[in-house]
Structure 1
Amino acid sequence: MAVRSARLFSFLVLMSLSLSVLIFSMENLGKNVRSKGYGDLIGSDVISWQKKSTTSSRHVFTTASQAKTASKSSSGMLNVVKKTMPPQTETPIPIIYRKSFSKLPQWDFEDAYNQDTPPRLTTCAQSLRNSKDEAFQKAFLPNISLFLHKNRISMTEWNRLSHFNNPFGFMDYKYDDIMASVKLIPKPKEPLLSPKPGSDGCVRCAVVANGGILNGSKMGAEIDAHDYVFRMNAAVTKGYEEDVGNRTSVYVHTSHSMIAALRFFQKYGYTAAPHDQNIKYVMIPEGMRDFQWLEGLLKGEQVSSGENRNRDPRTFYSGQYNESRFYVLHQDFLRYVRNRFLPSKSLNDSFWAIFRPTNGAFTLFLALHTCDTVSAYGFMTEDYSEYSNYYVERDLKTKVTFFANHDYILEKDLWKSLHNRKIIKLHQRSEKGKQRRKKMLLDTQKEH
């Protein structure tokens, strides 16, 4: 009897100790998650990113209980102590809402991105990839995954990307609402650009924005002389060829930019998005309206819901839409551009969630990752106040409007810096060009 009593007592003591350890572990896990700034996400399936091997581009994810062991490596990825876990059926994590955060939340895996292996090879001696600039080389990922497609999305990927606000991820969104379109996006059959046949192996690109600095610039012939020409937004060329050229190889857009361009620039002769023969279209998945647009576009149907309901997306591409020449930018690429090159102070403000780089910025970085040399035209420069907002505005001089969702000054300074470091060639007006522009304005005023 005494032996039984002793055994019972030992069992109760052991159970009490186990319960104490469990409570202590849960409390410390909560403290750890709170210390990361995860706020109301206690109990949700917060994940951290771990690289599976040094040679593979595939990655695995672990739960929040392992996040406290993570430390950033020199490559910007995360090292996580491995722990054997029983297999689990993955399901979407609870929705993470932007309203839960007063500024951009910082996750352990914030600066970890999908990367392709191997990176695009180049034989071009002048390639920007050969830059000796240490700061650029440290930030630049030549094999960053550029495009989103159905083969690149999984439940694990969904759960990771759900931690980032759009267009950098799927925060605020329901799995079924987004997957309806993402699972339709085909894997690109070919790279966005390749060296021209018979060339020296260099891919030379011009990226043309819409700034008034191009008005009267006579840069058209120089722009069209490049292997490829990138444009975005209201890319008006008819009637402006002498200043901006007339070729478009790659057109970058959102559903909103396509529709808004028709609304606001029709009076300047804009009737449709560029639709050169064999043009390639690249879409920025800015928000829900873009995923709704994508579903209609890829199915060849009208948009079924949202602000573009009953619109037929394919009509906006003037017969040049082709599945093999259509690409969707990956959220990791968009976040990488913001984090490593344009980390605006706006991200620490209450309106952090609406901030993102401009379409022009994303287009320029797309060119930096697909071309060997990049020349930028129509981007903001130090003397931007001397020019009209858009190059189509010949008869008036409107001022640049600084909206809260973009940091134009930060972008302007970056373009200048990249130019000074010989990573891009930024078109800037000479004194002679400025005088010619002033004369043109005076002549226009006399005519009126």
Structure 2
Amino acid sequence: MQKAWAVLSLILTCCMLLYLLLWENLSEQFHSKTVTISALILSRLRNTSLHIAERPIFPTEKEVSTTPIPILYKNNFTKLPEWDFEDVYLRNSEARRPTCPKSLQNTEDPKFKEAVLPDIQLWLYKNLLNITEWNRLAHFNNPFGFMEYKYNEVKRAVDLIPKPSIFLPVPENSKDGCIRCAVVGTGGILNNSKMGKEIDSHDYVFRVNGAVIQGYEEDVGNKTSVYVHTSFSMYSNIITLKKYGFNSIPLDKGIKYVMIPEGMRDFDWLQGLLQGKASNGSFKGVSPLKYFKGNFNESRFYVLHPDFLRYIRNRFMPSKQLQGRYWAIYRPTNGAFALFLAIHTCDIVDAYGFITEDHHMYSNYYYEMFKKTHVIFYINHDYGLEIKTWKELHDAGIIRLFQRN
């Protein structure tokens, strides 16, 4: 009997040792797979209250590699949530390195040098969105991330976007290797300005939104190299600005189109555009391709990355509105994003038609010849901050801001 108990005890001891060995090995594997997603889920929030629908904090081993984090909702935050990785951005090792001696990247302005990231990832395209990236970007509201969205719905559209080619090459006739750009807003300050010829003299001309040109060439020029838009601005401006002669978006030969993905409707629009069919969602039944009138080419189409948009907000335009109940509504204007895109892709940047301190002296838009309106400071933008920002960039020599006085 004693011999039998000894054998049984030995067997149980061996089983226990084998169990502990296997448990330790599995635990190490599970921990290595969950550490990244757990860090995202458990990242500390500073000065923000968050309520997430109940579910286990730690996903199963199968969920770790295949499941997005629980959806976060804007209404659960009383102000902008500040994550530990709020100021972490995707970087691009292939970013342009300018040779222009006058390049604004060579500026000595301390504030700008501290804030700017010359290698920030500008573009969103296929292969840049996977579960890991989604679980990071899902913490940020649109257009700065994918909060409230579903992974599969966004990824379907992103996977259609081809990797973009070089955005703005140095002109062949450039003797100093510099890229000179004009960014043209729609401000009434351009009305009767006679700046058209000067604007067109630049290597590249950026325009945004309702870029009305016909009949206003003397003030705003007629050349467009880059057109920056959202799906809504493209759709709505064709309807509302017909009375001003805006019958189509700019269609210049070789023009490049840059889309700001401001919401889910833009990803629905993208899917329709890149598949050559009608869109779903907000623009259900609308064919995005018709707005390009046969001028669409994937090699000249670009989509701004949410990291770039968030970087502009965080480092250059952090409005006080982000600390209030309407934090999720605020974002810089399309014109602001276009101007900062030029700052990151050009060497010398001149801005025309942007809001200035004396904006009350001019109409809201340069194409308002008869019934003039004035800027309304809606809560979704911070025009006071934009006035201050453009003036500071001008005074620091980063841009040259057109001013009448």
Q: TM-score range by the shorter chain?
A: 0.7 to 0.9
Give the structure 1 partner of residue 204 of structure 2.
228
User: Which residue identity does 2:398 align to in structure 1?
Assistant: I
Give the structure 2 partner of residue 82 of structure 1.
none
- Measured against aligned partners, the alpha-carbon deviations of 1:41-66 in whole angstroms (never above 9, x if no partner) come to 498799xxxxxxxxxxxxxxxx99xx
**Cα shift at 1:33:** 5.8
**Equivalent residue for 1:116, pick from 92, 95, 99:** 92
**Equivalent residue for 1:215, pick from 168, 183, 191:** 191
**Equivalent residue for 1:39, pick from 27, 31, 50:** 50
Give the structure 2 partner of residue 354 of structure 1.
329
**Equivalent residue for 1:155, pick from 108, 131, 144:** 131
**Is residue 262–residue 271 contact of structure 1 (8 Å, CA) maintained in 2?**
yes
1:42/1:295 CA distance change after superposition, 3 Å: closer
1:34/1:283 CA distance change after superposition, 3 Å: closer
The TM-score, its normalising length taken from structure 2, stands at 0.86
**Is residue 33–residue 42 contact of structure 1 (8 Å, CA) maintained in 2?**
no
**Is residue 167–residue 331 contact of structure 1 (8 Å, CA) maintained in 2?**
yes
Give the structure 1 partner of residue 381 of structure 2.
406
The equivalences for 1:1-400 within 5 A come to: 36=46, 37=48, 39-41=50-52, 88-188=64-164, 190-199=165-174, 200-303=176-279, 305-400=280-375
Unaligned runs of 5+ in 1: 5-28, 47-62, 65-84, 431-448
**Cα shift at 1:299:** 0.1
* Runs of 4+ with >3 A deviation: 32-38, 41-46, 85-88
User: Which residue identity does 1:40 align to in structure 2?
Assistant: H
Instruction: With a CA cutoff of 8 Å and minimum separation of 6, indicate the structure with the bigger relative contact order.
Output: 2
Q: Secondary structure at the match of 1:352?
A: coil
1:427/1:88 CA distance change after superposition, 3 Å: same
1:420/1:87 CA distance change after superposition, 3 Å: same
Please identify, of 193-202 and 35-44, the stretch whose mean Cα deviation from structure 2 is larger.
35-44
Q: In the aligned structure 2, how far is the partner of 1:139 from the partner of 1:318?
A: 40
**Cα shift at 1:397:** 2.7
**Is residue 45–residue 93 contact of structure 1 (8 Å, CA) maintained in 2?**
no
Q: In the aligned structure 2, how far is the partner of 1:154 from the partner of 1:399?
A: 44
Q: In the aligned structure 2, how far is the partner of 1:135 from the partner of 1:44?
A: 44
Q: Secondary structure at the match of 2:65?
A: coil
Q: Secondary structure at the match of 2:67?
A: coil
Q: In the aligned structure 1, how far is the partner of 2:129 from the partner of 2:248?
A: 32
**Is residue 90–residue 156 contact of structure 1 (8 Å, CA) maintained in 2?**
no
Q: In the aligned structure 2, how far is the partner of 1:399 from the partner of 1:44?
A: 50
**Cα shift at 1:266:** 0.7
- Measured against aligned partners, the alpha-carbon deviations of 1:167-203 in whole angstroms (never above 9, x if no partner) come to 0000001112211111111111x22101101312100
Q: In the aligned structure 2, how far is the partner of 1:356 from the partner of 1:122?
A: 29
User: Which residue identity does 1:265 align to in structure 2?
Assistant: L
Q: In the aligned structure 1, how far is the partner of 2:354 from the partner of 2:45?
A: 41
Q: In the aligned structure 2, how far is the partner of 1:134 from the partner of 1:354?
A: 31
**Cα shift at 1:334:** 0.2
1:88/1:400 CA distance change after superposition, 3 Å: closer
**Cα shift at 1:88:** 4.6
Taking every aligned residue pair, what percent have the same amino acid on both sides?
A: 57
Q: In the aligned structure 1, how far is the partner of 2:219 from the partner of 2:64?
A: 60
Unaligned runs of 5+ in 2: 1-8, 10-38
**Is residue 206–residue 226 contact of structure 2 (8 Å, CA) maintained in 1?**
yes
**Cα shift at 1:218:** 0.1
**Cα shift at 1:288:** 0.9
1:391/1:44 CA distance change after superposition, 3 Å: farther
**Is residue 44–residue 93 contact of structure 1 (8 Å, CA) maintained in 2?**
no
**Is residue 388–residue 396 contact of structure 1 (8 Å, CA) maintained in 2?**
no
Please identify, of 323-332 and 194-203, the stretch whose mean Cα deviation from structure 2 is larger.
194-203
**Is residue 205–residue 228 contact of structure 1 (8 Å, CA) maintained in 2?**
yes
**Is residue 374–residue 425 contact of structure 1 (8 Å, CA) maintained in 2?**
yes
Q: In the aligned structure 1, how far is the partner of 2:45 from the partner of 2:217?
A: 56
Q: Secondary structure at the match of 1:295?
A: helix
**Cα shift at 1:211:** 0.2
**Cα shift at 1:262:** 1.2
**Cα shift at 1:119:** 3.1
